[in-house]
Amino acid sequence: METSKSLNATTYITFDGYVDLHKFRYLYFVTVLLVYILIIFSNATIVCLIWTRKSLHEPMYIFIAALLLNSVLSCTNIYPKMLIDFVSEKQVISYSACLVQFFLLYCFGGSEFFLLAAMAYDRFVSISKPLQYPNILTNTTVIICLVLAWFVPALQSTISLILLHNTGVKLCNMEVKGIFCNNAIYTLHCVRPRSVTIFGVLAVVDNIVLPLLFIVFTYTKILSIVNRSCKEVRKKAAETCLPHLLVLFSLTCLSAYDIIIVRTESDFPKTVRMIMTLQIFVYQPLFNPLIYGLKMKEIHKHLKLLIYRAKII
């Protein structure tokens, strides 16, 4: 029979998602450290280009910079603790620190969908109302979109933590089937409060489903417009919209894993679970700067110029 445990400052949770850590701990450490450095370098390079080049001070590129910065912050929430776990005898985290990691994880995760929705709106206005674009996508509008993109997920994550705290949950399980604190923390509780479950569903709808529906609607309208337009307009639309759609597709697939597999407590093999979990913080943060650096014409042009100057120096 499982025994419950009251929560206090010394309550520790064990991560049970690592595979053969005793054999490959140093290989894991070096590999993940190199990946983390590459993520920071690649994303920071694009963000700095957008920051320093006046020709890139447009709403579309500002949203891209925000998305890449969001990826770096999201990875920083996960990677340092993971690196510590690789070289530690026990892979543990305090329950309070676990909740903080959980909070930041879904703050940044929800923000990605809102930022992609803002990009979709930017492209829609640019293609459907090119002459009115400067009057619609003003600096104030851009700032409001950025604030909402980070504030709404943060507010919902805060409410989730408040609900957990106020319902006085107790732990019947001290192991997380994973390598960081995500939705799997709900499996630790003896009983999942109904209020937490209901609000969790609402948060998924607000942070993922609604932005996705908005993006699908927006790009459907864009597709309808470009089909009636000349070849030059279709080419411009493809250059600017395709990277956003590729990023959206990969993010949606990876988020589906976290929502469906983790919440339904599917009995996946530990190796598969670890690989899929790592993909969220390896594939997406490296994929974004690669796509925007190669597929966005203006960014690619400045990136080539930067590489050329570096060679000369």
Following DSSP, what letter does each residue of 106-164 receive, concatenated?
Answer: HHHHHHHHHHHHHHHHHHHHHHH-TTTHHHHS-HHHHHHHHHHHHHHHHHHHHHHHHHH
Q: β-strands 92-94, 175-176: how paired?
A: unpaired
Buried/exposed 232-249: b ≥16 CB within 10 Å, e otherwise: eebebbeebbebbbbbbe
Residues 6+ apart with CB under 8 A from 177: 16, 17, 184, 187, 270, 273
Answer whether residue 4 is part of any domain: no
Interval 77-131: pLDDT, tens:
999 999 999 999 888 999 889 989 999 998 998 899 999 999 999 988 988 888 8
Residue 284 in any domain: the answer is: yes
In a domain, 5, yes or no: no
pLDDT of residue 129: 87
Alpha helices in 170-269 (DSSP H): 194-204, 210-227, 231-256, 263
Q: pLDDT (tens digit, 9 = 90+) per residue, 126-178?
A: 888 888 999 999 999 999 999 999 999 999 989 888 887 776 677 788 888 88
Q: How far is C-alpha 226 from the chain's CA centre?
A: 30
pLDDT at 44: 92
Amino acid 7: pLDDT: 56
Q: How many domains does the chain have?
A: 1
The mean pLDDT of the chain is 83
pLDDT of 242 strictly over 80? no
Helix (H, G, I), strand (E, B) or coil at 5: strand
Q: What is the CATH number of the domain that holds 60?
A: 1.20.1070.10
- What's the mean pLDDT in 231-260? 74
Give pTM, 2 decimals. 0.87
pLDDT band of 1, cuts 50, 70, 90? very low
* Residue 101 belongs to some domain of the structure: yes
In a domain, 22, yes or no: yes
Domain for residue 26, yes or no? yes
DSSP of 211-226, one letter per residue? Answer: HHHHHHHHHHHHHHHH
The CA distance from 313 to 308, in Å, is 9
